[in-house]
Structures are given as C-alpha cells and as structure tokens.
Chain A
Amino acid sequence: MFVNITIPNWSDFAHFVPEAIMFGAFLLALMGDVIVRGRKPVVPFLITLLGALAALYYSFASPPVGDAGVLGSLVMIDSFAGFFRIVFSFVAVVTILFSWSSEEIMGSTREHKGEYYALIALMTGGMMVMAEARDLVMLFMSMELVALTSYVMAGYMRNSLRSTEASLKYVIFGAVSSGIMLFGMSLLFGMTGQMTFVGIRDALVANPVNDLSMLVVLIMIMAGFGYKIAMVPFHFWCPDVYEGAPTPVSAFFSVGPKAAGFALMIRFFFTVFQPIVDTIDWPLMIAILSAVTMTYGNIVAVKQTNVKRLLAYSSIAHVGYLLMGFLLLTPGGLQAILFYLLVYAVMNLGAFMFVSAINNSIKSEELSDYAGLGFRAPWASVMMFIFLVSLVGLPPAAGFIGKLYLFTEVLREGWYWLAIVGVLNSVISLFYYMQIARAMYFEKVPEDAPAVKIAPLHYVTMALLAVPTLILGLYWSEFKAIADQAIAGF
C-alpha cells in the first residue's frame, strides 16, 4: 500500500542555515582529511574556516525575525539565538585561525590533524543548538553533543600525560553531573507531565508542587548547568582541564561552552522559573552561589604560578560576576549578562591566545618565565596588557562597561551586600592580573632567556580580539543594543 509521507516541517530547515553550515563543514572536513593527504591539513582548515566565516556572515546579514518554534517545539529560532550564533561563529573563526600556527595542535605527532578542525566545527554547531533548545530532549542532547566533542578535544595531545589527565577528569565529572541533571529532569517531567519549557511553566503555575521537591529538582538540574559553566561547587574539573588541554582548546572551552551553558540556562530558568521565582528563594540562592563562586575563583587565583591555571581560576571568578545578573531573572539583568558574555568572550579568548602564542616559542606557561616579556615581545605584550586591564574591569577597556551594567542591575534590585562583595573581588583580581603585567614589564630579562618569536597569524588573531576589547569599552551602545534586543524577543 502506498503511504503518503508528508514532512510538515521540511521548510523549517530554512531556519537552520548557520547550524547546517557548521555541521556540513564538520562532515566535509572529516572527509577532506582522509582524501587529501599532506604534511599540514590544509583542506580541513580551509573548509572549517570558510564555513565559520559563512556562518558569521549569515548570522549578521539575516538575523532571525520574530520567534519561530521549528521542528515541532524542539527548538526556537529567535533574536536570542541569533545573538549567540554571532558570538559562537566569531569565536570559532578566531580559534581556527589561531590553531593553524599553534605548535601544540599542529606539531603533535598525530596522523589526522584535520580532525581537530572538524571537531571545532561540530562543537560550534552544537553550541548554536544549545542556545536554541526549548525542550528537555533538545536541552539534554545539545549539551551532550558539546560535552562529548569537548572530551575528545581536551585529550587531543594523546601522548601527553597532562592532556590525557585533563580529558579523563573532564569526562568523569561531565558524565556524572549530566546524569544527575537527567535524573532531575525526569522528576520535573513527572511533576508536570510536560517536555517543553513553556509547558512545564504553565503546569507549575496551574498546579504548584511543594517547595521541597521543587528545591530537589532545582539542585539536580543546577548540577548539570553548574558543571557546564564551572560554577562553585561544580568547578573542580575546570583548572585541571584548562591547564592540561592544549592552550587553543582551553581558550575555546573557556568562552564557547561556557557562553552556551549560560544561553541554555537563561532560556530554561527564565521560561520555567520566572513566574515562581518568589516561592523558592531563588534570589538568595543565586546571590550566595555568585558570591561564593567569585570569591573562591579570585582568592585561589592569587597564589597560582602557572598562567594558564591562573586564567582558569579567573574564569571561575567571571562566572561569579555573570551570575549576579541572574538574581531576579529580570530582563535588565539578563541583558547585562549577554553583554558581559560578549565582552568576556573577546577578552578571555585574547588572554588565552597570548599564553598559547608565548608557549609556542618558550614552551612554558610559568609566571617566572614571563619575566621581561614586554621587551622580548613588545606588540603581543601590549595586547595582553589590554586584555588584562579589561579582565580587571578598568576603563577604557570593555570589561569596565560590562561590569558596570552588571553592578547597576544588582544595585537596582537592592542587593547591596552582593555589589560590595563584587567590588571587593575586583580589587583582589587587580592584584593577580597585575602580577602578570609586573612580570612582563618590571622584571629584568634573564640572561639565558630564549628568544620569543610570534607567528604572523597569532598577531592577526590577537589584534582581532584586542581591537574589539577597546571598541566595546568606548563605543558600546551599538553592541549593547544588540544584546538588549536579544532578550526583548523572549
């Protein structure tokens, strides 16, 4: 018997152009790597670079209009998703360009080096889907797509002890926390009988469940998100993974999956918990988590001697600042988070790239080996100084504006003690960021210091990040408007 198969949502795939480009680039790069053999994987590099550029161009040129719930109710393509498409494809372009000259990636003894670029493309596509998920199934699947890819990337240097240990710690922490999250989701599904975020919210408003079971579910789901964004007390993997993984990979991890985790968290909690925010002591919980996260990150960072590890702890501290915007789940706070994520992506990526570029020639990430770097690699050090100033949150760099918006929101909501904790933390962070600057500029160049040679491509990528760091600190209103509009679509 002839069965007329209709696919009612076929036209929905027109909404998926950037994702389709990234997933297509992944497949083509894998094939290209096998077919075209050579000393350097030119074909996968070009395919993924052009793919990421095309996705970036498309995300700018035709941002999503209105809010289209496509593929049934699995994903939501709206301006919020559009904002994150731009962030992720930009991060992918910079990382791919940078990795080409990186010794850690291209100097390894692997046979198929093109896999690295293919994995970056896959992960970028997965992160875009994370920002679009509006259903428990899609939430979990997209998170795991990104997670599985990142386990492989963390262990990319498979003959290195540190890299293997990083991926082992990543996979164990990741698997356990996502398992706990899944169990929490199963309970949430049982309490509401719904899979979509909107359905869950309506069911919770119509039939409130008791506070204790809501709290249990919330904590379980927080375990998954907290792991993804490296929030205390789910942060244990973060310093080890960032230190052990190849530096370009750490750079990508510290901004990409973290921003994607925040995107998913914003959409999930804003949709599900916004109407019942008062019944579960949400603001107090987030305020405590935020204060603990930033204080822990900053205090531990002070005594680090490895710059990569120092930046890992500083990225934990930045998660604490970002969480301040979550307090009351107000649009203003979320807009501040989005803008700070944009700023954070640019400046943190830049700082990691500098570490990687230096590691390329002196094979070390120790602070003591950074002595006099300001004179051995003047241009790169100037750019690093810009990133450091921005990470502290001093004007005229972008970090200042980002923090200003976050603190304004916290004060507007009346959480004065949290704002004070945040400001004190910025003072602590000034100390350890400036330790790097001090080593670069105020310490004598050792007699036997190896020469520092920075690849041209590394100058280009660092400039691609240093210039936006300054622009976002001086003419931010255009970019803030994009972030504001992304939340307005909710």
Chain B
Amino acid sequence: MMEVGLTHYLTVGAILFTLGIFAVMTRRNTVALLMGVELILNGANVNFVAFSRFVETSIDGHIMAAFVIVLAAAEAAVALAIVLAMFRNFGTVHVDSVDSLKQ
C-alpha cells in the first residue's frame, strides 16, 4: 500500500485553496462567497498541520491551526451579521446588486 506522506497533505491543502479562490472569483452569492473564504483558510490549516508533523516536529503549526479555526468562526459571525444588514437594506444577498457607491 502506498504511504501517505507530506506531498499528499500539501496536495489536499493546495486543492482546497484553489477551490476557495475559484469560489470567491465565480460565486455572486455573498454566503457562497464566504464559504469560499472558509476553504482558503482551511487549505492553509492543512498545510500548517502537515508541515508541523513532517518538517518540524513541534506543535507550532498545530497551535496556529487552532487559532485560525477560532478566528474563522469569529470572522464568519461578523461577516454573516453584515450580510444580514445587507439583506435588510438591499433585499438581496447578490453581490452585483450592491452598487450605491459610485465606481
């Protein structure tokens, strides 16, 4: 059986990151857009934990990942509150329909 090594984890991390960027670039629904952001953060998390396990046998990367998880929750709370305010004022969660400021 094939051994699961650092490269595999990094590949997963890179795929998550790319999917996140893709979601952010293509989705126009604000909630879906924020889900893309979560994917980006989790891609970085996978990297941190994998590097911490395989490169440097310390817990630095694990600690960072734990902080980032908490932070992602806080960010989601603030961002969803703003999306709620947006829905109340504009009646939609579609990014393109929000254009009260001049370009």
The yes or no answer to A122 lying at the interface (CB within 8 A) is no
Q: Tell me which residues across on chain B come within 8 A of A185, comparing CB atoms.
A: 44
Please state if A189 and B51 are interface contacts (CB–CB under 8 Å). yes
Q: Tell me which residues across on chain B come within 8 A of A176, comparing CB atoms.
A: 21, 24, 36-37, 40
List residues of B (32-70) whose CB comes within 8 Å of A's CBs.
33-34, 36-37, 40-41, 43-45, 47-48, 50-52, 55-56, 58, 60-61, 63-64, 67-68
Min CB gap A235→B, angstroms: 14
The yes or no answer to B26 lying at the interface (CB within 8 A) is no
Q: How many residues of B contact A (CB 8 A)?
A: 49
Please state if B82 and A155 are interface contacts (CB–CB under 8 Å). yes
Contact pick for A148, options B10, B34, B75, CB 8 Å: B75
Min CB gap A74→B, angstroms: 11
List residues of B (4-47) whose CB comes within 8 Å of A's CBs.
10, 13, 17, 20-21, 24, 30, 33-34, 36-37, 40-41, 43-45, 47
Q: Tell me which residues across on chain B come within 8 A of A183, comparing CB atoms.
A: 17, 40, 43-44, 47
Known: A137-B64, A171-B78, A176-B24. A164 touches B47 (CB 8 A): no
Give Cα A207 to B10, complex, Å. Answer: 21
Please state if A164 and B60 are interface contacts (CB–CB under 8 Å). no
Please state if B100 and A162 are interface contacts (CB–CB under 8 Å). yes
Known: A186-B13, A189-B61, A243-B101. A168 touches B30 (CB 8 A): yes
> Across the A-B interface, how many residue pairs have beta carbons closer than 8 Å?
128
The residue in chain A whose Cβ has the minimal distance to the Cβ of B47 is: A186
Contact pick for A190, options B17, B21, B36, B55, CB 8 Å: B55
The yes or no answer to A350 lying at the interface (CB within 8 A) is no
Give Cα A162 to B86, complex, Å. Answer: 10
List residues of A (114-171) whose CB comes within 8 Å of B's CBs.
136-137, 140-141, 144, 148, 151-152, 155, 158-162, 164-168, 171
Please state if B63 and A165 are interface contacts (CB–CB under 8 Å). no
The yes or no answer to A179 lying at the interface (CB within 8 A) is yes
Interface of B is mostly: helix
Q: Tell me which residues across on chain A come within 8 A of B47, comparing CB atoms.
A: 183, 186-187, 189-190
Give Cα A428 to B41, complex, Å. Answer: 41
Give Cα A155 to B24, complex, Å. Answer: 22
The residue in chain B whose Cβ has the minimal distance to the Cβ of A240 is: B101
Known: A148-B75, A152-B78. A175 touches B34 (CB 8 A): yes
Give per-residue flags for A173-184: 1 if the beta carbon is below 8 A from chain B beta carbons, else 0.
001100110110
The yes or no answer to A434 lying at the interface (CB within 8 A) is no
Closest A-B pairs by Cβ, 6 of them: A179-B40, A193-B56, A186-B47, A190-B51, A182-B44, A161-B100
A→B interface (CB under 8 Å) = 136-137, 140-141, 144, 148, 151-152, 155, 158-162, 164-168, 171-172, 175-176, 179-180, 182-183, 185-187, 189-190, 193-195, 239-240, 243-244, 306, 309
B→A interface (CB under 8 Å) = 10, 13, 17, 20-21, 24, 30, 33-34, 36-37, 40-41, 43-45, 47-48, 50-52, 55-56, 58, 60-61, 63-64, 67-68, 71, 74-75, 78-79, 81-83, 85-86, 88-90, 95, 98-102
